[in-house]
């Protein structure tokens, strides 16, 4: 009997969606004008620009067993703002404005 890869594929898709912040669809309309790293990272910066980023995940899975087959497909889209900050240390950093996590793309 052949085992379906569908449970594994769905598990991977779930993990991908888990790491995409649900708050991303409710992103702020703009980034904070100033940021500060706080006590552990006493660096601060000033917003020099921002843009809206839209990411779409698309996929489909299919399989068959015992002469019966099927497939499922779909997409998931999130949008959020990223801002570029001129930091006091002299470098620029780009961060997501909903989580302030580094944006590397």
Does the structure show a pLDDT above 60 at 4?
Answer: yes
pTM (whole model) above 0.75: no
Sign of CA dihedral 68, 74, 96, 98: negative
Does the structure show a pLDDT above 80 at 101?
Answer: yes
51-89 confidence digits (pLDDT tens): 999 999 888 878 877 777 888 888 889 899 999 999 998
12-55 confidence digits (pLDDT tens): 655 555 555 444 444 445 788 988 877 767 789 999 999 999 99
Confidence bin at 3 (pLDDT 50/70/90): low
């Amino acid at each position: 009997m052949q085992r379906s890869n569908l449970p594994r594929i769905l598990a991977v898709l779930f993990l991908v969606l888990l790491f995409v912040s649900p708050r991303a669809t409710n992103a702020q309309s703009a980034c904070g004008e100033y940021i500060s790293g706080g006590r552990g990272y006493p660096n601060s910066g000033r917003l020099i620009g921002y843009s809206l980023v839209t990411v779409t995940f698309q996929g489909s899975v299919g399989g068959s067993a015992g002469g019966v087959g099927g497939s499922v497909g779909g997409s998931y889209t999130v949008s959020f703002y990223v801002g570029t900050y001129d930091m006091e240390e002299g470098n620029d950093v780009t961060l997501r404005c909903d989580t302030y996590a580094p944006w590397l793309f």
